[in-house]
């Protein structure tokens, strides 16, 4: 009995799309309709005949209705009287919302307190806009979820109408346990990397350079990086160095990873990378470095500063490397890419993907695919061949220049 | 190397025999040629830049001549006759000259799908208009936004609101109401403003800042202006009112002759660390004309001191107000004149010397310490340099005599893109060295490595003629420049074209930044010419400080002209000179 159920499920799943197509438009519109109707309170009633005046001099009429219609309304509002600034702020936000500004519809006490702690007016507005964005996103997600649920419901009903499907048994080689299998396999590879993998260090000593929001972004990027590393063919052995227990970083990481934190296949330590590894094999990666990375070296330990820098505190990581007297390198972005906009600091997950790609292939063009497309306009033509030619040309420039010049003249004459 | 032979070989001899030696009087008639003089007094060497024509009449003549010349061909790059480096509008001109035209403020074509009505419509016409409308936003919202943008008449907006109210059971949304209020305030329809005020008061318990601002602005002209103060109190519950809110309330109070309220509001405004709008200050002066009150005048003088302390400059009309106020004081016979200051630092109209640009010893010490602490060290010595290098530099500076000129080697070398970099540097250094100045050239170590741009023999010559300090390639050289100059004393100048804004930004507070700027104005030499064939000329340094100032019976007030845009790193060139004819009968 058990078995049949398991076999049935995949089949049912692949059936969904077909039925879904048929009913999608239908269900979408219905959900949309429901949504819209719940938002808009009521359509204005048309009593045009009664109010359309013969002359347009009747312009002040609305004022009296406004004033009078309010009286009963106003009393109830005034009744809840507390001169608390929190309440006043809440009202202010409500009025701003009426004005069509980007402020959240609902705001919790906690958020309100954070808002009050904002130092300046612009900080407050920024925070409100952030909350608004968050709320809009949440709402959109909610709506999508509802729509999907409705579609599923629809599909289920459609399936129940067609009785003679999915009854027959079929033969399979495997149970559908892909996720678990892959996780186990990745775990196995991670253990291998812990033993024999090349170390890659994330330097966590930047928490006092960052604001809470930046720290959160950093932790998100770290999570992402760890995920990319785990899925790679040949993962790095990741070190989180300078990670203070119960520091801001640690708390955030534990909060995000939950129980998984203690089972992660990486080394988290309070020690500095200098204590763990020989100094001359360490290379600190920073965009401010004057040295350009030419090749990925498999016997070096690369350090990435886990630092989201929105305040453009240039040279922080370079100063750190200088203090500890470490070698530094930066990615050869200018050499390979036609840089357009944005700064050269890449996110942590982009960095690790580039490094992983270099480690596996050593091909810069391939690796720099992970640089966001919006930041550059394209690849520069510096293939191995042309570079060689360029160097040669430079050497024999003095010899060639005359001959070339004369050739050009002749060409142009012709 | 040709100029060695032509112009400068005889130079040192000449200036020794003649302290007011004129450099090449034939080069250009319109430019005041700025010679670099070095006069050796009793053991003290000072360095200054002076204008040659001492006669003010000739100078005025030359000024007008230069102006007409400039008008004639705008593109000619007579930098030496142009405004000084920090003069209002200079930065814009520089960017213009370097072929970097500001992109014109392109106006987006406002695409309006609805033809805005010019006269009030009735509801049927509005209905029809709505049918024609296609767009995302709601029709009423869109139309009234367009109306506020093009400042339609109040009646048209009112007809729209009437139509909306009729459709909506007599309810008009807050956003429509605010925009309508804006139109009323714009057209100064006070009775309408009061009506809307009544409606808002009845309908909403509290408003938001935009609505309050408009109401305050509208109400101050009416008899109910005191309620604007209540609205201000309402704003204060949630946030600090803007300077505009305060300014409006103050103007309202002044309009209704309530001086005490105005002054207490002003104190409050300043107490919140807001910088008052110049209009607000102007209103005080405008009001002061009719007053004859000692306390009030003292408060006005306090405003002038406030302008001084905060390095604010009045606008043209404000300057006129100040002038009329001073002239209206009975019994004192102030006389005001709009004028300019001569390069020697004397007022063209009264001939008095303007305050010197030099810092007082305490200020100087303070600035030196702040630069050391915040710009060079900055909490992390490794950011701009290394501790070893800092020690090396300090030792080096101590071992050398005080310098007269500190040169930013890389900046000077890259100033003339046509020449080789080491050649540029050498030409500047040798021209200055011939005047027996103690030079310091700051650079980076890569300058010593021979390359196509940096020739070894030329660098050797530079090192012979000047003290040199080469920082690491990844260190910043500007902080060293600042420190070396400050350490050498007040006579020392530095050469760079850099405006040093990023270093100014490292300073912790506004006061230190102002001191730095003042010091920079007095000590920075910017090269305008000096490559190979031409003689080395600098932008002239201001010898006087551009700030509101008084000597008791005179006031000198720099002001901004309305038509000259001024960057924040520049100072105005126009002045208001006020002097008292007869001493006050105290």
Q: What is the mean pLDDT of chain A?
A: 78
Residues in chain A closer than 8 A to B214 (CB atoms): none
- On chain A, the residues whose CB falls within 8 A of the CB of B474 are 290, 318, 322
Would the CB atoms of B206 and A95 count as touching at under 8 Å?
Answer: yes
| Confidence band of A9 (pLDDT split at 50, 70, 90) | very low
Residue in B165, B211, B239 closest to A65 by CB: B165
Q: Say if the Cβ atoms of A95 and B172 lie within 8 Å.
A: no
On chain A, the residues whose CB falls within 8 A of the CB of B203 are 66, 70, 73-74
- Nearest-CA residue of chain A relative to B200? A67
Under 8 Å between Cβ of B573 and B313: no
Q: Please state, for a pLDDT cut of 70, what percent of chain A lies above it.
A: 71
Q: What is the dihedral of CA A101, A104, A106, A112, to 10 degrees?
A: -100
Please tell me the distance in Å from B240's CA to the nearest CA on chain A: 8
Residues of A whose CB is below 8 A from B155: 59
Whether B171 sits inside 8 A of A66 (CB atoms) is yes
Q: What is the pLDDT of residue A177?
A: 83
Residue B2: predicted pLDDT: 37
Measured distance CA(B69)–CA(B76) in Å, rounded:
9
Q: Write the CA distances from B330 to A246, B290, B333, B554, integer angstroms.
A: 73, 11, 7, 16
More confident of the two residues A87 and B408? B408
B214 touches chain A (CB under 8 A): no
* Closest CA relative to residue B523, chosen from B500, B553, B506, B502: B500
User: Distance from A319 to chain B by nearest Cα, in Å?
Assistant: 5
Scan residues 66-125 of B and list those with Cβ closer than 8 Å to A.
120-124
Q: Which of residues 457-496 of B touch A (CB under 8 A)?
A: 473-474
Choose among B49, B7, B2, B20: nearest CA to B434. B7
CB < 8 Å to B172, chain A:
62, 66
Does B20 contact chain A (CB < 8 Å)?
A: no
Determine the Cα–Cα distance for residues B553 and B584; give it in Å rounded to an integer: 9
Would you tell me how many other CB atoms lie within 10 Å of the CB of residue A287?
A: 18
Alpha-carbon torsion (B475, B479, B483, B484), positive or negative:
positive
Question: Residues of B numbered 166-185 whose beta carbons fall under 8 angstroms of chain A's beta carbons: which are they?
Answer: 166-175, 178
**What is the enclosing helix (H) or strand (E) of B336?**
strand B334-340
Q: What is the rounded CA–CA span in Å between residue B392 and residue B387?
A: 8
From B195's Cα to the closest Cα of chain A, the distance in A is 8
Strand partners, B85: none
Report how far residue B353's alpha carbon sits from residue B346's, in angstroms, rounded to the nearest whole number. Answer: 4
| Tens-binned pLDDT, residue by residue, of chain B (586 aa) | 334 434 344 444 434 444 444 443 443 433 333 333 433 334 444 443 333 344 444 445 444 444 444 444 444 444 444 567 777 777 777 777 665 544 444 544 545 566 778 888 888 888 888 887 777 778 888 888 888 888 888 888 888 888 888 888 878 888 888 999 999 999 988 888 898 898 888 888 888 888 999 999 999 999 999 999 999 998 888 888 999 999 999 999 999 999 999 999 999 999 998 999 999 999 999 998 877 788 899 999 999 999 998 889 999 999 999 999 999 888 878 989 999 998 888 888 888 899 988 899 999 999 999 988 888 887 788 888 889 999 999 999 999 889 999 999 999 888 888 888 898 899 889 989 999 899 999 999 999 999 888 999 999 999 999 999 999 988 888 889 999 999 999 899 999 988 888 888 888 888 898 899 899 988 998 887 766 667 888 877 888 888 999 988 899 999 999 988 888 778 898 999 999 876 544 4
Considering CB atoms only, which of A45, A78, A319 is closest to B205? Answer: A78
3 state SS of B157: helix
Cβ of A124 and B380 within 8 Å?
no
Bridge partners (DSSP) listed for residue B577: B337, B556
Residues of A in contact with B122 (CB under 8 A): 52-53, 55-56
Cβ contact (<8 Å) for B120 and A73? no
The beta-carbon neighbor of B382 closest among A55, A121, A319 is A319
Q: Which of B120, B122, B162 sits opposite A62 (nearest CB)?
A: B162
Chain A CB within 8 Å of residue B383 CB: yes
Contacts of B387 (CB under 8 A, 6+ apart): B381
Among B211, B375, B474, the strongest candidate for a mutation testing the A interface, having the largest count of A CBs within 10 A, is B474
β-strand partners of A202? A240, A304
Instruction: List C-alpha distances in Å: B187 to A188, B51, B120.
Output: 76, 53, 16
Across the interface, do A320 and B383 touch by the CB < 8 Å criterion? no
Residue from the list A91, A99, A290 with its beta carbon closest to the beta carbon of B174: A99
Closest Cα in chain A to B155: A59
Q: How far apart are CA B18 and CA B39, in angstroms?
A: 10
How remote is the C-alpha of B49 from its chain's centroid? 23
Q: Is A327 left (phi over 0), alpha (psi -120 to 50) or beta?
A: beta
Task: Select from B155, B169, B383 the Cβ nearest to the Cβ of A59.
Answer: B155
Helical (H) or strand (E) element with B578:
strand B574-580
User: Cα(A239)–Cα(A201) distance, rounded to whole angstroms?
Assistant: 5
Residue-level pLDDT at A2: 42
Question: Which neighbouring-strand residues pair with B408?
Answer: B442
Alpha-carbon gap, residue A194 to B182, rounded angstroms: 67
| pLDDT at residue A69 tops 70 | no
pLDDT of residue B486: 92
CB atoms within 10 A of CB A108: 10
* pLDDT, position B209: 87
Q: How confident is the model at residue A76 (pLDDT cuts 50, 70, 90)?
A: very low
Which value, to the nearest 10 degrees, does the dihedral of the CA atoms of residues B540, B545, B548, B552 take?
A: -120
In this prediction, residue A75 has a pLDDT band, given cuts at 50, 70 and 90, of: very low
| 8 Å CB contact between B545 and B356 | yes
Q: ∠ at Cα A337 (A331, A338), nearest 5°?
A: 135
Using CA atoms, how far residue B429 sits from B45, B59, B437, in Å, is 19, 32, 10
Residues of B with Cβ-Cβ distance to A95 under 8 angstroms? 174, 204, 206-208, 211
Residues of A in contact with B382 (CB under 8 A): 319-320, 322-323
Q: Going by C-beta distance under 8 Å and a sequence separation of 6 or more, which residues neighbour residue A152? A: A16
For residue A54, the tally of other CB atoms under 10 A from its CB is 7
Chain B residues with CB-CB distance to A55 below 8 A = 122
Task: Tell me the backbone φ, ψ of residue B68, rounded to 5 degrees.
Answer: -65, -35
* Percentage with pLDDT > 90 across chain A: 49
Nearest CA in chain A to B192: A60
Angstrom distances, CA of residue B40 to CA of A51, B173, B490, B542: 94, 79, 16, 21
- B209 vs chain A: nearest CA distance in angstroms? 8
* Residue B444 CA from chain centroid, whole number: 33
Task: With beta carbons under 8 A apart, name residues in chain A contacting B158.
Answer: 59-60
Instruction: Locate the chain A residue with the closest alpha carbon to B196.
Output: A63
Q: Residue B71, exposed/middle/buried by CB under 10 A (0-12, 13-18, 19+)? A: exposed
Q: Other CB atoms closer than 10 Å to residue B453's CB: what's the count?
A: 15
Question: Is the CB of B162 less than 8 angstroms away from the CB of A83?
Answer: no
Does the distance separating the beta carbons of A83 and B383 come in below 8 Å? Answer: no
Structure tokens given for A12: 């049912």
Q: What is chain B's length?
A: 586
pLDDT of residue A72: 44
> Which residues lie closer than 8 Å to A286 by C-beta, 6 or more apart?
A305, A317, A318, A321, A328, A329, A330
Of the listed ranges A55-59, A103-107, B280-284, the least confidently predicted one is A55-59
Taking CA atoms, B163 is separated from A44, A59, A64, B185, in Å, by 12, 9, 14, 21
- CB-defined contacts A:B, below 8 A: 123
Partner residue opposite A99 with nearest CB, options B127, B208, B383: B208
Residue B422 has which token pair?
A: 């080491």
Q: Is the Cβ pair A52, B158 closer than 8 Å? A: no
How far apart, in whole angstroms, are the C-alpha atoms of residue A222 and residue A228?
Answer: 10
- Residues A78-98 as b/e (b if ≥16 CB within 10 A, e otherwise) read eeeeeeeeebbbbbbbbbbbb
Question: How far, in Å, are A204, A216, A219, A221 from residue A256 at the CA level?
Answer: 16, 10, 8, 12
For A119, nearest residue in chain B (alpha carbons) = B239
């Amino acid at each position: 009995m058990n078995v049949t159920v398991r076999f049935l499920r995949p089949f049912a799943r692949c059936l969904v799309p077909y039925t879904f197509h048929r009913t999608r438009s239908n269900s979408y519109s219905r959900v949309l309709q429901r949504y819209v109707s719940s938002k808009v309170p009521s359509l204005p009633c048309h009593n045009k005949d009664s109010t359309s005046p013969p002359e347009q001099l009747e312009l002040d009429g609305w004022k009296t209705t406004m004033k009078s219609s309010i009286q009963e309304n106003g009393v109830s509002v005034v009744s809840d009287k507390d001169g608390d600034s929190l309440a006043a702020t809440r009202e202010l936000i409500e009025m701003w919302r009426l004005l069509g500004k980007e402020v959240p519809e609902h705001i919790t006490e906690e958020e309100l307190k954070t808002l009050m702690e904002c130092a300046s007016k612009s900080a407050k507005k920024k925070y409100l806009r952030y909350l608004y964005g968050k709320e809009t996103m949440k709402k959109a997600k909610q709506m999508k979820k509802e729509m999907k649920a409705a579609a599923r419901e629809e599909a289920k009903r459609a399936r129940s109408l067609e009785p003679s499907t999915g009854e027959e048994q079929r033969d399979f080689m495997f149970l559908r346990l892909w996720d678990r299998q892959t996780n186990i396999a990745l775990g196995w590879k991670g253990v291998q990397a812990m033993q024999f993998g090349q170390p890659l260090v994330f330097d966590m000593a930047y928490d006092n350079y960052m604001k809470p929001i930046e720290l959160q972004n950093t932790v998100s990027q770290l999570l992402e990086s760890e995920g990319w590393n785990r899925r790679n063919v040949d993962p790095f052995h990741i070190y989180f160095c300078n990670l203070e227990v119960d520091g801001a970083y640690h708390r955030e990481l534990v909060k995000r990873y939950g129980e998984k934190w203690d089972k992660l296949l990486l080394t988290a330590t309070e020690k500095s990378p200098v204590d763990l590894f020989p100094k001359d094999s360490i290379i600190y990666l920073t965009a401010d470095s004057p040295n350009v990375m030419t090749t990925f070296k498999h016997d070096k330990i690369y350090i990435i500063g886990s630092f989201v820098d929105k305040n453009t505190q240039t040279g922080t990581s370079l100063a750190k490397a200088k203090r500890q007297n470490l070698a530094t390198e930066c990615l050869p972005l200018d050499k390979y890419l036609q840089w357009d906009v944005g700064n050269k600091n890449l996110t942590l997950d982009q960095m690790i993907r580039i490094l992983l790609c270099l480690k596996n292939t050593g091909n810069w063009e391939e690796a720099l695919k992970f640089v966001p497309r919006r930041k550059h306009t394209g690849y520069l033509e510096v293939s191995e061949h042309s570079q060689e030619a360029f160097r040669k040309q430079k050497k024999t420039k003095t010899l060639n220049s005359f001959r070339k010049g004369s050739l050009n003249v002749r060409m142009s004459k012709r | 190397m040709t100029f060695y032979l032509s112009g400068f070989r005889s130079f040192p001899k000449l200036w020794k025999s003649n302290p007011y030696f004129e450099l090449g009087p034939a080069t250009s008639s319109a430019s005041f040629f700025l010679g670099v003089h070095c006069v050796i007094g009793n053991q003290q060497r000072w360095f200054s830049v002076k204008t040659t024509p001492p006669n003010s009449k000739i100078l005025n003549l030359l000024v007008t001549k230069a102006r007409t010349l400039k008008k004639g061909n705008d593109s000619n790059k007579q930098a030496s006759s142009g405004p000084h480096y920090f003069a209002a509008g200079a930065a814009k001109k520089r960017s213009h000259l370097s072929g970097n035209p500001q992109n014109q403020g392109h106006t987006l074509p406002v695409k309006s799908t609805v033809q805005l009505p010019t006269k009030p419509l009735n509801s049927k016409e509005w209905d029809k208009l709505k049918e024609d409308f296609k767009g995302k936003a709601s029709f009423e919202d869109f139309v009234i936004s367009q109306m506020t943008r093009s400042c339609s008449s109040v009646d048209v907006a009112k007809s729209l609101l009437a139509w909306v109210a009729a459709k909506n059971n007599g309810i008009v949304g807050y956003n429509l109401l605010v925009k309508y209020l804006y139109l009323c305030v714009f057209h100064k329809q006070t009775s309408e403003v009061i009506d809307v005020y009544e409606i808002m008061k009845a309908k909403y318990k509290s408003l938001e800042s935009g609505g309050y601002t408009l109401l305050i602005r509208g109400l101050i002209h009416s008899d109910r202006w005191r309620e604007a103060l209540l609205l201000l109190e309402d704003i204060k519950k949630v946030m600090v009112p803007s300077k505009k809110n305060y300014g409006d309330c103050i103007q309202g109070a002044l309009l209704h002759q309530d001086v005490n309220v105005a002054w207490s509001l002003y104190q409050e405004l300043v107490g919140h660390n807001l910088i008052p709008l110049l209009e607000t200050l102007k209103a005080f002066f405008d009001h002061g004309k009719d007053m004859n009150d000692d306390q009030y005048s003292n408060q006005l003088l306090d405003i002038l001191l406030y302008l001084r302390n905060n390095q604010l400059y009045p606008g043209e009309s404000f300057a006129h107000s100040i002038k009329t106020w001073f002239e209206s004081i009975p019994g004192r016979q102030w006389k005001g004149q709009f004028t300019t200051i001569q390069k020697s630092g004397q007022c063209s109209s009264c001939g008095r010397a303007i305050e010197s640009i030099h810092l007082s010893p305490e200020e100087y010490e303070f600035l030196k310490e702040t630069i050391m602490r915040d710009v060079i060290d900055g909490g992390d010595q490794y950011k701009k340099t290394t501790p070893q290098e800092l020690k090396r530099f300090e030792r080096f500076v101590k071992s050398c005599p005080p310098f007269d000129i500190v040169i930013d080697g890389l900046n000077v070398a890259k100033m003339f893109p046509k020449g080789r970099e080491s050649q540029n540097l050498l030409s500047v250094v040798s021209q200055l060295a011939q005047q027996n100045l103690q030079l310091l050239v700051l650079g980076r170590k890569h300058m010593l490595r021979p390359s196509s741009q940096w020739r070894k023999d030329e660098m050797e010559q530079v090192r012979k003629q000047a003290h040199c300090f080469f920082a690491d390639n990844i260190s910043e050289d500007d902080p060293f420049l600042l420190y070396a100059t400050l350490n050498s004393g007040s006579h020392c100048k530095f050469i760079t074209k850099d405006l040093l804004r990023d270093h100014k930004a490292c300073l912790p507070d506004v006061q230190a930044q102002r001191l730095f700027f003042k010091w920079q104005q007095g000590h920075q030499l910017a090269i305008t010419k000096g490559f190979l064939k031409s003689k080395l000329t600098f932008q002239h340094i201001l010898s006087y400080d551009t700030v509101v100032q008084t000597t008791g019976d005179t006031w000198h007030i720099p002001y901004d002209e309305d038509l000259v845009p001024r960057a924040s790193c520049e100072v105005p060139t126009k002045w208001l000179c006020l002097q008292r004819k007869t001493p006050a009968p105290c």
